[in-house]
Amino acid sequence: MTEQRPGGGSDGSVAVVTGAGSGIGAATVRRLAADGWRVVAVDVADTVGAVAAGHPGVAACVADVTDPDGNAAAVAMAHDLWGRLDALVCNAGVSGQGHLASSPVADLDRMWAVNVRGVVLGIQAAVPALRASRGAISVTCSVSGLFADPGMWAYNTSKGAAVNLVRAAAFELGPEGIRVNGVCPGPIGGTGMTTPIAERDPALHEAMRSHLPLQRWGRPEEVAAVHAFLVSADASFVTGVLLPVDGGVTAGTGMFVPRGFGGPPA
């Protein structure tokens, strides 16, 4: 018999991961699969099929998180394949840049649809199954939801909403035995949001690296490990937490760069 541990165990537990076609989402799918989870990997792009390939316990679901039917389909797939759902990782997200005074409000609408509405719809679709398993939810927020960035007002606004949504959901769902936490990544390389920075503006990429106390960009796998912890039974008394995974950038005021500026990455 396969052991199943309510509240987010590993062996036999089932998760839905959104934004799973690349970057942090794909790394989270791989990490959970390696830990013995069965996973429905969700993405609007069909690249999610390649992420699922070679993992017999991973199923691909091409769906849009801004669509209630897409979220329902992902949860239904988990139930149809494995009869339960123990965790939801809301990772899908989009970003963009522009000045507040001149950017079209459509930029905010697009980010709000994915970064906030998509999380709400995912939670609503998953809650009935998570009540039964006393499961867990982990949301990819951002340090940009905790503080502001120049030229990223729409992203800051949407991720700030996601941060407080995590807190509100933890209060609302805690009495039902469902834990809700958020992960706030800093500069993470190898994602759809950050790879263009390295390609388009190497000087900015290096400047961001130099502001990190650890003096290097993070890896998707390092964020995935925190998601895996937060949905696991090891975090059974952790809820309403926003955990930065940022190389230490939020430890400072932002006025000064760490000693070692200009030196090689650690």
Amino acid identity at 51: V
- Inter-residue contact 247 to 21 (CB < 8 Å): no
Amino acid identity at 101: A
Structure tokens at 232: 């696991």
Catalytic residue among 155, 181, 218, 223: 155
SS3 254: coil
Query: Please, which residues have CB within 8 angstroms of residue 115's CB and are 6 or more apart in sequence?
Result: 93, 94, 155, 158, 159, 161, 162
SS3 188: strand
In DSSP notation, 144-212 reads: GGTS--TTBHHHHHHHHHHHHHHHHHHHHHGGGT-EEEEEEE-SBSSSTTTHHHHHH-HHHHHHHHHTS
Amino acid identity at 226: V
SS3 220: helix
**Distance, CA of 252 to CA of 93 (rounded, Å):** 26
**Distance, CA of 17 to CA of 66 (rounded, Å):** 14
Question: Among candidates 217, 195, 201, 214, which has minimal Cα distance to 252?
Answer: 214
**Distance, CA of 33 to CA of 186 (rounded, Å):** 24
Asked if 65 is an active-site residue, the reply is no
Q: Tell me the catalytic residues.
A: 155
